[in-house]
Chain A
Amino acid sequence: MHEWTLLEAAQKVRANEISSRELTRAVLERIERLNPAINAYITVLAEKAMRDAQSCDEALAKGLVRGPLHGVPVGLKDIFCTRGIRTTCGSRILQNFLPPYDAAVTEKIAASGAVLLGKQNMDEFAMGSSTETSCFGPTRNPWAIDRIPGGSSGGTAAAVAAGMCFAGVGTDTGGSIRQPASVCGVVGVKPTYGRVSRYGMIAFASSLDQGGAVARTVPDAAVMLSVIAGHDRRDSTSVDIPVPDYLAATEKSVKGMKVGLPREYFGAGGLDPAVRAAVEKALASLAEQGAEAVEISLPHTEFALSAYYILAPAEASSNLARYDGVRYGYRAETDGGLIEMMSKTRAQGFGAEVKRRIMIGTYALSAGYYEAYYGKAQKVRTLIRRDFESAFSKVDAILTPTAPTPAFRLGEKLADPLTMYLSDIFTIPCNLAGIPGISVPCGISPDGLPIGAQILGNHFREETLFTAAAAIERAIPLPRVAPL
């Protein structure tokens, strides 16, 4: 039953074909069996999940359906605050943090009737592309245990791919939902900036961070996004626009849809030939269903990574200033004064990648450098945004590879930060422009590793993404769960 889709599981619970307790117990048993090897979860809430499942069963017996995911077990990246439940962000500095409140996403998942299985592993503070920077150890790719699951939402993608939950919620600052979805063979959607509330979502780079869904099918991802999307007064960048019926969009035809192919993405040096072939197959499947391919140019693409590695670390260095060992989190032992306590706390509490980004960001914002780095990067961001504005005056959607290669091996890129950063070369421009993006499985490499295609749309056109992704999914059937 772990292979059921989210929609199937929800339908079977509602129809009394299975109880939420049976369903939740089955997934918890699978987690117990697989998590020691895959390490997708930092915290498993076995007892709480069973209590919540029982409460769902009791409600249903009285005819009460709490929401679209009534009784179905799901997971959350450990970046979303859960009241009274440890929330670590993959960091030693928050190892024992018990949030006094729930994130907006946590509230919405609860309101949908879903059962929370646990908190999923991630790169420390969402900084990474491999889930290797977590202080709880790396997550492994269920398709190949010696490979990375992508990152930073690698725990969520691996759990979904391994049948250790029916769906999950991750976050995406530069590709952290789409890249792990791509290398784990699942669907990951990052909506338009402002679609999902950031309230209670631990901040990395506030102008880029966005929550989104990870699931095994496009319709599942559509339902999951409907659950978490919506306006929230507590996030001043949350947008007050009605949430459309994403699930209905997955049933629409792509006939007449204009799909742009940016030559800068397909001409990129590091693009694996198997990835290119699989994405071309996805394009062919769209064309067969009546979509029209249009070659386009996004001329500033090559500058996106540079702009991102100024803006994101700069915002991170400011956001992470709050971890000082005073009010919550880890505190270093010291005989010295306040400043020494803070400096030692941060040196011991943060891992190497987080320190590196704090250093880049602090440098870029320091006296004399602000204009040359942060100011300049914000202007480059405008140029990248305009590239997309111009493209979307000609096409409805843009098709690209999600990641330049299938999953690489653990440790392969850890020693060279810049090589690791290049894993996100196709996903980063989307965050800079604030547009929505989805990754959908479109093939398997000769080594047996999943490959994802990325579809980008204009602001608030998530429906277009779901229509195109569902068309690819229908045309290219692939295993929903990794062959473990």
Chain B
Amino acid sequence: MAITREEVLHVARLARLALSEGEVDRLKDQLGNILDYIRQIDSLDTRDIVPTSHAVEMGTPFRDDAVHPFGDKEAILGNAPDRQDDFFRVPRIIED
């Protein structure tokens, strides 16, 4: 199944991946080949089949909606690429 360069760029935008020109070219071919392979499931008739989202049947477990303070704030904020006081710092969000 052929996939266009524009489709690759569109999907990369959705996935927030700033791909290089070379990567776009390579992925266009590779995704085409992989999609060709996986489309073989089209040959199966699945009209009356119920989809499986989890293989082991289980109900939704409930728990109390209780707060459990974590405590070690520094262990979390210490991983931040950029911070200011107790905040994660990011580049500007609203473009000019």
Contacts and interface: CB of A to CB of B under 8 A. Distances in A.
Contacts of B38: 305-307, 309-310, 373
Main secondary structure, interface of A, reads helix
Contacts of A375: 51
Contact of B58 (A237, A337, A385, A435): A237
A385 B55 contact: yes
Contact of A317 (B15, B34, B79): B15
Interface in A77-100: 83-84, 97-98, 100
A305 B92 CA distance: 43
Contacts of B56: 192-194, 237, 239, 434, 459
A100 B81 contact: no
The winner among A101, A233, A362 for most chain B CB atoms within 10 A is A362
B12 A359 contact: yes
13 contacts: A84-B75, A237-B56, A303-B40, A309-B34, A309-B37, A326-B88, A334-B91, A337-B93, A343-B18, A359-B31, A417-B34, A418-B34, A432-B55
The winner among A317, A326, A340 for most chain B CB atoms within 10 A is A326
A325 interface: yes
Q: How large is the interface on B (under 10, 10 to 19, 20 to 34, 35 or more residues)?
A: 35 or more
B17 A356 contact: no
Cβ-closest 4 pairs across A and B: A434-B55, A378-B51, A331-B81, A328-B79
Interface of A: 83-84, 97-98, 100-101, 192-194, 207, 233, 236-237, 239, 300, 302-303, 305-307, 309-310, 317, 321, 324-331, 334, 336-344, 346-347, 350, 352, 355-356, 358-360, 362-363, 366, 372-373, 375-383, 385, 417-418, 421, 431-435, 459
A193 B17 contact: no
Nearest to A355: B17
Given A325-B81, A341-B91, A380-B44, A193 B15 contact: no
Contact of A382 (B19, B41, B50, B95): B50
Contact of A98 (B33, B52, B75, B82): B75
B34 A336 contact: no
Nearest to A376: B41
Nearest to B10: A366
Given A233-B63, A337-B92, A338-B92, A362 B18 contact: no
Interface of B: 3, 7-8, 10-12, 14-20, 23, 27, 30-31, 33-35, 37-42, 44, 46, 49-56, 58, 60-61, 63, 70, 72, 75-76, 78-82, 88, 90-95
B27 A337 contact: no
Given A309-B34, A380-B41, A383-B46, A193 B8 contact: no
B85 to A, nearest CB: 15
Contacts of B39: 306
A327 B15 contact: no
Nearest to B93: A338
Contacts of B92: 337-338
Nearest to A308: B38
A432 B53 CA distance: 10
A331 B11 CA distance: 22
A480 to B, nearest CB: 33
A300 B79 CA distance: 46
B52 A306 contact: no
A100 B78 CA distance: 9
B42 A376 contact: yes
A359 B23 CA distance: 11
Given A356-B27, A376-B41, A378-B53, A97 B79 contact: yes
B55 to A, nearest CB: 3
A362 B78 contact: no
Given A98-B79, A379-B49, 6 more contacts: A338-B91, A342-B16, A347-B18, A350-B17, A355-B27, A418-B37
